Structure 1
Amino acid sequence: MDLVISTVSQGLLWALLAIGVYITFRVLDIADLTVEGSFPLGAAVAAKLLTSGAHPVTAILVACIAGALAGVVTGFLCTKLKIPALLAGILTMIALYSVNLRIMGKANLPLLSQDTIFSIVKAPGLDMGLTVLAIGLAIVLIVAVLNYWFFGTELGAAIRATGCNPHMIRANGIDTDVMVVLGLLLSNALVAMSGALVAQSNGFADVGMGVGTIVIGLASVIIGEVLFGTRSFRNCLISVILGSIVYRAVIAIVLQMGMPPNDLKLFTAILVALALSMPLLQARWNKFRKGVTR
């Protein structure tokens, strides 16, 4: 039961990262690697503020602002300087490595003696795992509802249309560059929030904790879409959240089965590749099955 609670709670905290990746990967149709820098940026900012005596909620909000600024930088490189989106994200990610080191002052910043959002909310006698689960669920639900509401507004619909058909939305007088920047801003703000929460949950912030986060986010998105569908935007948000939990469950299972932790990145890459190829494999299987029945 402790393993189940820990797995679900971590899946919920990482679901914010998955939602951020979904916004760029599916809504904007951009492969944004900024997340590998904005995730540890959120952790670094939150950890630094906590060690300086700031309130945990303030640390999370400032981390979101820092992540949003990172998204704006990528958007500026992409839209104004006409640098390809993939390369713009890589440039921002590389720059953020030095920024994160500068913020923390060292490669690893422990939070073992600091109050976190989980420790200040924890009720007497309540297990910390259940506290993380409850807070993670509350935050994810709030973020999901706000995203569902926002992307149903005129501005949110314009961002979605920019990723779907930029020529059409440009013909309607909408500045697609502004929409791309707004989408990247929102995406990296959520990624940084995830980093801040994960750092407070794990008890430390590390400059290298962002390595592979884009693959983790993509795994959550693809697994959620394959297992739970994409019938509507609301269904997509739910699928991404559940996909993050399923991904964490799969990781926990393979670790319990004896897989070396050093092989997790390789396993994640193979899992994402299989999930991405599922539609093609399913189509070929259906074609083969029809040929056999004939």
Structure 2
Amino acid sequence: MFDLVVSTISQGLLWAIMALGVFLTFRVLDIADLSVEGTFPLGAAVAAILIASDQPIWLATLLAVLAGCAAGTVTAILTTKLKIPALLSGILTMIGLYSVNLMVMGKANVPLLRNETIFTLTESTFGVSQSIATFIVGFCACLIVGLIMYWFFGTVLGTAIRATGCNPQMARAQGINTDLMVILGLLISNGLVALAGALVAQSNGFADVGMGTGTIVIGLASVIIGEVLFGTRSFKNWLISVVLGSIVYRIVIALVLEMGMPPNDLKLFTAILVAIALSLPLIRSKFAYMKQRRY
């Protein structure tokens, strides 16, 4: 039971990095970026093929992040320079990345069971079990990414990106190059998603071309659940809420699986869960209005 709880929380921490990337586009930039469904397996594919070729783990992970940044830049250029709507730009990038991922891996699946990963390295270094090693890596990765994001979005450049997502007209009036801010935001977001893909692939022991299916829904579920349960009082609180939301989502999934839900129904359950979470503010306002009228 202990291993199941630790494993569930550990997976929540790994996927929280992807959720932070989705949070950056969905909440900070106010863009629905579907390219994450392609950049997540792209990060997994690049990391897996390099690790399987006996390249250093840090190099494989770094190149996976850079590949995700490049894919995010493509989406951003389609949006800002070619004036294609952001939703369509993300779809185009996602579709194109399916073929790119196949070309990177050379096949649909790359196993890593016989290769050293960051998780097996942690196991041997600290002499811990697989679930504890996953927790250590996930916690450290979330902590580092969260601290860097909190620092960066407090700088002038980070504030400019936030201003672009909040009110692009006012940002342009203040002399901010909003197109450049969108490019930077999508670059960082997809880099984070690719990092999550690289870590999840190492944790699972394989990279698969279809492992990005439903990624955007999982990210949105983590963001919205975190906002509803833990609030958005400040940017720091918002980041923490997203991470906790990812953990809560994984716990909910583990619980419904323990209750006997077929794994094939998980996507449907997640979609319903996101729809309910999105409608909660409206439901709350309706109840508050009815309560006010009653008194």
Same fold at TM > 0.5: yes
- Secondary structure, aligned partner of 2:31: coil
Counterpart mapping for 1:111-260 below 5 A = 111-122=112-123, 123=125, 125-260=127-262
Per-residue CA distance 1:263-283 (angstroms, 9 max, x = gap): 000000000000000011111
Task: Quote the residue 1:261 is aligned against.
Answer: 263
- What is the CA distance between 1:176 and its match in structure 2? 0.4
Identity of counterpart residues, as a percentage? 68
Gaps of 5+ in 2: none
Q: Whole-Å Cα distance in 2 between the matches of residues 161 and 291 of structure 1?
A: 38
Classify the secondary structure of the residue corresponding to 1:183: helix
Aligned position for 1:91: 92
| Cα distance between partner residues in 1 of 2:192 and 2:254 | 24
Q: Partners in 2 of 1:230 and 1:89 — Cα distance?
A: 27
Letter in 2 for 1:288: M
- Other structure's SS at 1:114 match: coil
Query: Shift of the alpha carbon at 1:118?
Result: 0.8
Partners of 2:286 and 2:80 in 1: CA distance: 39
Q: Name the structure 2 match of 1:34.
A: 35
Q: Which residue of 1 aligns with 2:75?
A: 74
Q: What's 2:62 paired with?
A: 61
Aligned residue type for 1:241: V
- The match for 2:50 is 49
- Quote the Cα distance in structure 1 between the aligned partners of 2:127 and 2:116: 17
Shift of 1:128: 1.1
Task: Please state how far the C-alpha of 1:250 moved relative to its aligned partner.
Answer: 0.2
Tell me what 1:5 maps to. 6
- Give the match's secondary structure for 1:231: coil
AA in 1 matched with 2:170: M
Please give the per-residue CA displacement for 1:184-239, whole angstroms capped at 9, x wherever unaligned: 00000000000000000000000000000000000000000000000110000000
* Partner SS for 2:255: helix
CA distance in 1, matches of 2:239, 2:34: 21
Whole-Å separation in 1 of the counterparts to 2:221 and 2:160: 27
Deviation at 1:57, TM superposition (A): 1.4
Q: Deviations over 1:126-167 (max 9, x none)?
A: 111101101110110000000000000000000000000111
Q: Distance in 2 between matches of 1:8 and 1:188?
A: 23
SS for the counterpart of 1:222 is helix
2:293 aligned residue (281, 291, 294): 291
SS in 2 for 1:106: coil
Task: Name the residue aligned to 1:106.
Answer: 107
Secondary structure of the 1:53 match is coil
Q: Which amino acid aligns with 1:212?
A: G
Q: CA deviation at 1:124?
A: 5.5
Change (3 A) 1:124 1:134: closer
Moved over 4 A (4+): none
Question: What is the letter of the counterpart of residue 101 of structure 1?
Answer: L
* Cα-Cα RMSD: 0.8
**Superposed displacement of residue 290, structure 1:** 3.2
**What is the CA–CA distance in structure 2 between the aligned matches of 1:263 and 1:290, rounded to whole Å?**
39
Q: When the two structures are superposed, what TM-score results if normalisation uses the length of structure 2?
A: 0.98
Q: Distance in 2 between matches of 1:89 and 1:212?
A: 14
Query: Matched residues in 1 for 2:42 and 2:230: separation?
Result: 31
- Paired with 1:107 and 1:125, the residues of 2 have a C-alpha distance of 33
Instruction: Answer yes or no: is 1:15 the counterpart of 2:16.
Output: yes
